[in-house]
Structure 1
Amino acid sequence: MAEKEVITDLNSTESDESGSFDDADMALTGIKMLLNNGFEEARKLFEKYKNDSSLMNAGHSFVFFMTALMSFEEEKLDEALKVLQETEKSCDTDSGVLKSIRKKFRSKKKKDESQISVEDKIQRQVIVADSLLYQAILVFTNQDIPSYIKGGWYLRKAYKLYEKLYKDVTQLQAKQGKLKESRSQNSLPESEISASEGAIDGNDNELSEELLARLLGAVSFGYGTFQLCISMVPPKILRLIEFLGFEGDRQAGLQALEYSSHSKDMKAPLATLGLLWYHTVLRPFFALDGANDYSAGTIDAEKIIDEREGEFQNSALFLFFRGRIHRLRKETDLSLEMYEKALEAAKGQRELEFMCQYEIVCLGSMGDVKGAHEILKEVPGLLKKKNNQIEAYVSRRAEKMNKGAPSQEYCRLLSLELIFLWHALPTCKEEELKPYLDVCDMQTDPKVFHLKCLLEGAIFKELGQEELAIQYLEEAIARHQGMKDDHHVPAFALFEMASIYMKKPEVFCVNHVQNL
């Protein structure tokens, strides 16, 4: 494997008289190794050199962050937070990159070689901002008020750093552009130009164009991710966020991630994953292309994967995203094939295996009702966060089913409910949707008719029978009146009705008002 050869070469540098190595190249190699199913090899590489380079230290903490985020296990989340805090502390420096440059420029004294260079200072501040962003994401998983406040504080600090660094590095690039233009015009002797303008590091050396491009790629990853995520926040929360000093520009975020993905920074492959996540998960989930166009992002996603085919041909993550593309295009067999390939490639990487198994289960069920009932008995004891909406939902379902063994018909209805909640109905073909109506017709218990009607309405909507869909959705709302649980049913019914009205407001809204 190419990555293993690189490790051998890197290990040989230890015997080098200078003991130095290209940490940027090594860190990029480690991240590529990570994404090419070499999770353990990447962890060992970053672990070995974490004390020799801020970039390798950042890579080391990122491995912990990625593991925690995919597993959601309490111990791994806590461990990742601790490692990220250590990375933040080790890389923290005074802010003000350009201010530092100006001070150095004004001073004609010789700089001490141990002084932190501007390159290293920028790199360290990027790592601090990244660490704060990752900590905020992990803290938010607690989903309680103190965590939101703490996570919000981390986000604010990260945003201010990203914003300043992005501005500083782009200004450095602009200065360098003027320097090149001056040189091409030969308006000043070479020595005078070097002394009068340009991007200067702590040892009075010009920062190269390639180096500035890499640094901008490093900043752009966090800056772009931040802009993209904030732009997805609901309007009510967004007003609060803007009051706290944040702002989200989706287009700016995408452009920054695109730039980062083509850079030579260690986060370039991660920026690529961020773009794939946006096109195959966020766009359909938030209906960014309209409530009825779930496959719009697949063209962009496929183009990105094709461009990186040579580097990540057998990557479990890239195979996973190919599976997502086929799923959004309603190509179920191809989707299942890709998920199974990803599962095979992810062997030994438990978190990646879980992701692939989750998607495979979404596409097919074993139908073991007795086994499912036994597992459901364990659910109440596994729940830790009562204020977590997903866990509250699971708890209600488990308690209801533990009162008595569920019928196969009811289990099928609950499976269909999950397909609906996962926004998977729009990815199903007509021949796959019609059997779901049979599942609804099987229900004989009046206590589940409100849920049955919601699902029937959603299915008829996908089949293009909007008037019939509205009838069932209105019935779902009516049947839920007086009930003390399943409050999500009328909420989703209203949302589905609204998405239908948006397609032909002049027709449906008039009819709806007349019926009130």
Structure 2
Amino acid sequence: MPLGLGKEDSDQEDKFEDAHETIPVATTMNLVTSLEECTTALYLFLNNRFSDAINLLHPWSKTSIYHALIYGILMVVKAILTFDPQDKQIGMAIVKEALKTCNSFRRKPRVIPLSHLVSKEGIKAISEEELHAEVCYAECLILKSFITFIQDESMLGFLKGGISIGASYQIYKDCQQVLTQIPNDQSKAHRHLVGGIQFGLGAFNLMLSLVPPKTLRLLNVVGYSGDREVGLALLHESTSEMHINNFLSVFTLLFYHNYISISYGVEMGNNSAGEHLLLIYLQKFPNCVILKFFHARSSMLKGKFENAEAKLHECIFTQNEWNQFHYLCYWELMWCRIFLQDWKQAYHYAHRLSQHSRWSKATFVYSKAILLPLLPADFVKSVDEDMNSLFLQVDGLRARFLGNSVPIEKFIAVKGQRYGTTVGWFTAQPLLEFIYAWSGFQVMSQKTELISSWLSIIDKGEDLLQENPNNEYATDDMSLLNLLKGVCLKHLGKYSKAEHYFNHVIQKEKLLKYDHYLVPYSYYELGILHYLRGDYASATKNLHNIKNHRDYLMETRLQFRAHVALEQIAKKN
């Protein structure tokens, strides 16, 4: 039973699970009926009945705020999964229609904020439905931001999305103020309202806590800051009651614990709360591909890669209606095989992604290219692929976002040119660098024998480069291996040795010709190392040194990581 779920709600869910295959569409609609029907649609979605969920929502999507919201959410999810231009256009059109629907139910005119109005005139100044419309409108604004970011590739699109985010956050804050002036209402509708506000404020606090102040200004979220602990607490509270945004709160928490905290956190945190949440919802929806996927990812982070693979294959075979989910699984399956050094199977998944997924052709082609030098010559001949040709294709396959290249695609495009036009690098070098760029050593950190195995590969590469150095790239290549060596040693708890290698990269700064990113990233790793030792002053000093570097590959990502690390250190002092 979900956290905080009462017997009445549990019985309702059980009835749903035993329901007939055909779900009747309501003939009349009010606030309570719309919440019940949209909850049914979400249960259909969580049971992988995607078309049934959409068909239930569509008839009322222009006349009911919750139908409009949930219909918009599902169509935006589809657009993100497919990355198909037509699906993006459809998603944007549906979100705009949802905003229009929700806006028609909001209080008119809006001369002053709702919280000020209620404070001045009392709670009767706004109806229950108008308050729900505010929350739905705020959530639709978030949807519009997401679809704008992936559809409009200009800086103008970025600013438009930012304006929506700022407006949405202000509405949530305003509604929270109104809640404090409302008597504690135990009705089902009120519970949905409270849960929606908790989700919105929780998600915003979590998101804003990860973003450096400079980026917040660009997003038009001026004067706000996020508190990660407050955000996590609000989201967990939102999962403790059954309401229309309950599952969004669950998925937000699972995504944070399984992806964001790995890429941007200072250390592998205790994920017991997230694990508990996942297991509870898997009991209720055992076939839900999204929950299965997160379960697989959770196994990966524990170093149980074979177990993760079994769960990912279950995801693939569970449903065929939205095949786009399969590509999420193939991506993770590729990484499992890379971590376990099964190059052939990893190549198989990379090839499948490059052929069928629209997300990042550049990344998938590059993945194939970095695996080819590790494969037997007869296999390479059988697949009829040319490594250098693949490397050189990457630059032309880059997507544009906000008028610029996606940072990871810019990184691999530069690397593709280098590895496709030069010799003298050892076979695993591009792959090792790619693993680091995707936080792969952090993912493997719970399985020290694997880290040791990769450290052995780095040692062999170091020997090869010393025997046959490429004069132009000699310092850059050795500095890369020193950084990676330090990372492995850090995960093995050998801090003094790791510190030596990070400092060695920093000392070579003036001799680097191309890979200038290695120095700020070494400062970052050194900062985290001191953090793990409990030397917060040294950690802070090294992290601040990152600010002295500009215009290097993956700069924005490092700024985000450094911001999160400094925030974490500030809480320790």
TM-score over 0.5 for the pair = yes
- Residues 136 and 155 of structure 1 are in contact (CA less than 8 Å); yes or no, is this contact kept in structure 2? yes
Say if 2:80 is the partner of 1:87: no
Residue 356 of structure 2 corresponds to none
Rounded Cα–Cα distance in structure 2 between residues aligned with 1:67 and 1:106 = 40
- The range that moved more, 128-137 or 32-41, is 32-41
Structure 1 residues 326, 87: CA separation in 2 closer, same or farther (over 3 Å shift)?
same
Q: Is the 8 A contact 2:35 2:244 kept in 1?
A: yes
Partner of 2:179: 169
Q: Which residue is equivalent to 2:254? A: 276
The 1:471–1:102 alpha-carbon spacing in structure 2 relative to 1, beyond 3 Å, is: closer
Give percent identity, aligned residues only.
Answer: 20
2:408 partner amino acid: I
Please report how far the alpha carbon of residue 399 of structure 1 lies from its aligned counterpart in structure 2 after TM superposition. 2.1
The runs of 5 or more residues in structure 2 that have no matched partner are 1-14, 348-371, 373-379, 543-573
Alignment of 1:268-417 (within 5 A): 268-287=246-265, 291-292=266-267, 294-297=268-271, 299-365=272-338, 366-367=343-344, 369=372, 370=380, 371=385, 373=387, 375-385=390-400, 386-403=404-421, 409-410=426-427, 412-417=428-433
- d(CA) in 2 for partners of 1:250, 1:83: 32
Matched with 2:167 is 157
SS of residue in 1 equivalent to 2:283: coil
Residue type of the partner of 1:459? Answer: C
Please state whether the residue corresponding to 1:172 is helix, strand or coil: coil
- Show the counterpart of 2:527: 498
The change in CA–CA distance for 1:322 and 1:168 in structure 2 (over 3 A counts) is same
Query: Which residue in the other structure is 2:358 paired with?
Result: none
Q: Residue 165 of structure 2 contacts residue 219 of structure 2 at CA under 8 Å; is this kept in 1? A: no
TM-score normalised by L of structure 1: 0.79
Residue in 2 aligned with 1:185? none
Structure 1 Cα separation of the partners of residues 480 and 255 of structure 2: 31
Residue of structure 2 equivalent to 1:230: 208
> Which residue of the partner structure matches residue 552 of structure 2?
none
For 1:13-43, what per-residue CA distance to the aligned partner results, in whole angstroms no more than 9, with x for missing partners? 44xxx57782211111212222332223222
CA 439–357 in structure 1, closer or farther in 2 if over 3 Å, else same: same
How many angstroms does 1:237 deviate by?
A: 4.1
CA gap 1:449/1:101 in 2 versus in 1, 3 angstroms? closer
Q: Matches of residues 184-263 of structure 1 in structure 2 within 5 Å? A: 209-237=187-215, 244-263=222-241
- Note if contact 1:450-1:480 (Cα within 8 Å) is conserved in structure 2: no
Partner residue of 1:46 out of 45, 54, 57: 57
Tell me the alpha carbon deviations over residues 97-117 of structure 1, each in whole angstroms, 9 at most, x when there is no partner.
57479879889xxxxxxxxx8
Amino acid at match of 1:267: N
**Structure 2: which amino acid aligns with 1:317?**
I
Q: Deviations over 1:349-407 (max 9, x none)?
A: 23321211111111114345144735444433321324431221121122223336997
- Aligned residues between the structures: 460
SS of the aligned residue for 1:22 comes to helix
User: How far apart are the structure 2 equivalents of 1:275 and 1:248?
Assistant: 16
Indicate conservation of the 8 Å contact 1:29/1:266, yes or no.
Answer: no
The 1:69/1:239 distance shift into structure 2, 3 A limit, reads same
Q: How many Å separate the matches in 2 of 1:478 and 1:144? A: 39
Q: What CA deviation, in whole Å up to 9, does each residue of 1:468-488 have, x standing for no partner?
A: 222222333345534443232
Deviates more, 1:219-228 or 1:48-57: 48-57
Question: Which residues of structure 1 form unaligned runs of 5+?
Answer: 108-116, 177-207
Shift in Å, 1:265: 2.4
CA distance in 1, matches of 2:203, 2:179: 17
RMSD of aligned C-alpha atoms? 3.4
Aligned-partner residue type, residue 413 of structure 2: S
Q: Could you tell me which of 137, 146, 170 is aligned with 2:146?
A: 137
**CA offset digits 1:436-490 (Å, max 9, x no partner):** 1232223434422222221111111112222222222233334553444323222
- Cα distance in 2 between the residues matched to 1:507 and 1:394: 34
Please give the secondary structure, in 1, of the residue aligned with 2:284. Answer: coil
Conserved? CA contact 1:3–1:29, under 8 Å: no
Deviation sequence 1:33-78 (CA, Å, 0-9, x none): 2233222322222223323422111111111211223344444334
In 1, are the aligned partners of 2:262 and 2:443 still within 8 Å (CA)? no
> Is the CA contact (8 Å cut-off) linking 1:169 and 1:215 kept in structure 2?
no
User: Hey, what does 1:419 align to over in structure 2?
Assistant: 435
356-365 or 90-99, larger mean C-alpha shift: 90-99
* TM-score, length of structure 2 as denominator length: 0.71
